Structure 1
Amino acid sequence: MNNLAGIDLNLLTVLEALLAERHVSRAALRLNKSQPAVSHALARLRTLLDDPLLTRQGGSLRPTARALEIQPHLTEALDRMRHLLTPAGFDPSRERRTFRLAMSDYGAAVLLPRLVPLLRAEAPHSDLLVTQAGREAMAAQILDGEIDLAFGVFPDLGEQLAQALLFEDHYVCLADGSGLPPPGRLDLPSYLARPHALVALRADVENEIDRTLAALGHKRRICLTLPHWGVAPRLIAGTDIILTVARGILPPSIEAGGLRLFEPPFTLPAVPFTQIWHPRRRGDPAHQWLRERIARFYGKGRG
């Protein structure tokens, strides 16, 4: 591909879609093309690059080593081309854009009630696509170009991704008030003696609470693991279970139903809620607009 003369550069957008979707029909839908047209483009790409690029496995396509090598460079090059061909700035009141975000239901609870009204008011022609995944998966989706922004707690990102702190939350404990001693809280031995609920997409992923306890030489018993924050408080009512969570996920009226909040009987780190993105998105006017508007929700200025 040293000589670009005679090469249809539209093939590269097809390759980008195929590597993202790993499915011919979904890539065709994404590109607003017919399935035969995408299949024909893939055949031309295979000849052009002298590589199968994607091989069928089950109901999907698996990229070859050559395709995986090409993907990040392809995405970056196409993003730069789009930036060059896009008018300077982003007019949210007129332009159409689909913003692809990933977050847990904690992120959804603290962000979406602000973001959705903003988009309807300022960017009525733009769409929002929200997905959920674990930390590692969200970071991988950002690197692969599958999503635009991810939100959550990302302690070990390295230098591949850009990030901006939005706010810091703190941990609190929640338990049924009828089983708490008169001070309305528990000391560490009493805390450890009780069973606990853990909110996590995967039980085998290390969390800050148990990492901190392990550093102190302690371990708690997890009797309930579930992936959803929203339902967790209702499950501990009338039981001896303790839920240790970020305060922002709990509604102000959480104690009205007999549950009681108290501070953890050991020092836990703050919960830094951040937005992360790929550095190649830095010059995208629409992406920059969205980052900055989200940052302003929390008084952070530029995102």
Structure 2
Amino acid sequence: MNLNSLDLNLLVALEALLREASVSRAAMRIGLSQPATSHALQRLRDLIGDPLLVRSGARMELTPRAQALRGPLAQALDQVRGLFTPDDFDAARSERHFRLMMPDLAVELLMPALMEKITQFAPNVRIDVVPWRGPAIFSAEFARTIDLVISIGDAFKGFHRQLLYTDSDALAVRRGHPVAAKLGRRDVFLNARHVAVVIRGQNVDLIDDWLRTKGIERRITLVVPGYIDALHIVARTDLVAFVPRRLIAALAKPLALATIPPPLDPGIDEQFMFYPTRAQMDPGSIWLRNIMLGIGREMERNKRRTV
């Protein structure tokens, strides 16, 4: 192989493809378009002389050659990245302040696990969480003031994004709700009194946008700005909330909530971690991002164990 012709960016693409076993997820991981990632895969196939990813039913699987490359490639890229990392981040001694922006549901789901790690490995590090302020806030100036953003949605200019965890939506009701057992029927669902969640930067509850594509309008009697607000209301009334399933599970015991499968399934929600391009090689940012990604992976493992 002629190393002079080797594009190191191809190795980054290869690492993502081997981790995700999916062109679309690899594209999200490295911030490229799906066509660009598909082109990179073809170049890698030609370079290595192996298909690397092959279709098996509805999924893609790694070839034996691709499986064998995972460990050595990860070690090689770690060494290359180390050449350009100016200093290590000494978490145990650091007194750094990290600023994170996220909606209330991400605070509820992520912060307990994050703070457990901070307490264990970086007791003098401080985390400042600011509320989600909508996509309009994203600018070059904002990128200089923030370390991480947790949100759904497309990429924002000046930020990289990585898939953090997936979720799905369900109906939340109080335990003992008079029609809980029947809410899986469309007619009962439509006749129920709903609380909608319209977070900052949006004009409508996203679930209603989706329902309207099906020609459905639910009966909304209350609109609140946060998911946790909605669940607190649901816990003390006969209203129904259509919210992320993980959040219902997290608050089911303290709020005495029940999870009801909806009559229509909107599919999978994806929650992303965004970080400024300026911080891509910052050791402290890398340390925090790795912890957050580990939390996301653990959430996904727990999800698979409970399915």
TM bucket normalised to smaller: 0.5 to 0.7
Maintained 8 Å contact 1:203/1:225: no
8 Å CA contact 1:94, 1:123 repeated in 2: yes
**Match of 1:260, SS?**
strand
- Alignment match, 1:168: 166
1:115-154 equivalences in 2 (<5 Å) = 115-137=114-136, 139-140=138-139, 143-153=142-152
Q: Give the corresponding residue for 2:99.
A: 100
Superimposed CA distance per residue, residues 156-185 of structure 1 (whole angstroms, 9 cap, x where no aligned partner):
32554211111101111022443216x443
Asked if 1:266 is matched to 2:264, the reply is yes
Q: Give the paired residue count.
A: 215
Question: How far apart, CA to CA, are the structure 1 residues paired with 2:141 and 2:169?
Answer: 27
Query: Is 1:288 equivalent to 2:289 in the alignment?
Result: no
Unaligned residue ranges in structure 2 (runs of 5+): 1-84, 299-307
User: Larger deviation: 282-291 or 212-221?
Assistant: 212-221
CA distance in 1, matches of 2:173, 2:141: 37
The CA distance in 1 between the partners of 2:112 and 2:243, in whole Å, is 20
Contact 2:196–2:224 (8 Å) recurs in 1 = yes
Do the aligned partners of residues 216 and 142 (structure 1) sit closer, same or farther apart at CA in structure 2, a change above 3 Å counting? Answer: farther
Give the residue type in structure 2 aligned to 1:236: V
**TM-fit CA distance, 1:204:** 5.0
Q: TM-score, normalised by structure 2?
A: 0.62
Partner Cα separation in structure 2 for residue 258 and residue 287 of structure 1: 38
Q: What TM-score results when the alignment is normalised by the length of structure 1?
A: 0.62
Separation of aligned partners in 1, 2:100 and 2:236: 36
Task: Summarize deviations over 1:17-43 as a string: whole Å, max 9, x none.
Answer: xxxxxxxxxxxxxxxxxxxxxxxxxxx
- What is the CA distance between 1:244 and its match in structure 2? 0.7
| Contact 2:172/2:248, CA 8 A, preserved across alignment | no
SS at structure 1 position matched to 2:228: coil
Match of 1:221 among 216, 219, 227: 219
Q: Kindly indicate whether the alpha-carbon contact (under 8 Å) linking 1:142 and 1:150 is maintained by their aligned counterparts in 2.
A: no
For 1:142 and 1:271, locate their aligned partners in 2 and report how far apart those are by CA, in whole Å: 29
For residues 200 and 226 of structure 2, what CA distance do their matches in structure 1 show?
Answer: 11
C-alpha distance in 2 between matches for 1:141 and 1:249: 32
Alpha-carbon distance between aligned partners in 1 of 2:182 and 2:125, rounded to the nearest angstrom? 48
Alpha-carbon spacing, 1:140–1:243, altered in 2? closer, same or farther (3 Å) = farther
Unaligned runs of 5+ in 1: 1-85
Partner of 2:82: none
Residue 198 to residue 99, structure 1, CA distance change in 2 (3 Å): same
Match in the other structure for 2:38: none
* Counterpart amino acid of residue 261 in structure 1: T
Distance in 2, matches of 1:299 and 1:171, equals 19
Counterparts in 2 of 1:192 and 1:286: CA distance versus 1, 3 Å: same
Partner residue in 1 for 2:3? none
1:237-281 Cα offsets, whole Å, 9 max, x none, are 464421011012124572787643211111213121111011121
Are residues 240 and 127 of structure 1, via their aligned partners in 2, closer, same or farther at CA, if it must alter by over 3 Å?
closer
- Is contact 1:104–1:133 with CA below 8 Å preserved after alignment? yes
Distance across 2 between alignment mates of 1:94 and 1:220: 53
Distance 1:174 1:121, change over 3 A: same
Residues of 2 paired with 1:252 and 1:95: CA distance? Answer: 31
Change (3 A) 1:238 1:299: closer
Are the counterparts in 2 of residues 167 and 298 from structure 1 also a CA contact under 8 Å?
Answer: yes
Q: Which residue of structure 1 lines up, in the alignment, with residue 197 of structure 2?
A: 199
1:241 to 239, 242, 251: 239
Cα RMSD over matched residues? 2.9
Cα deviation per residue 1:110-150 (whole Å; 9 max; x = unaligned)? 11101112112211222111100233155448854221101
Which amino acid in the other structure matches residue 233 of structure 1? L
Residues 1:146 and 1:264: Cα distance change in structure 2 (over 3 Å)? same
Counterpart of 2:215, as a letter, is G
Cα 1:239–1:167, aligned 2, differ >3 Å: closer, same or farther?
Answer: same
Larger Rg: 1
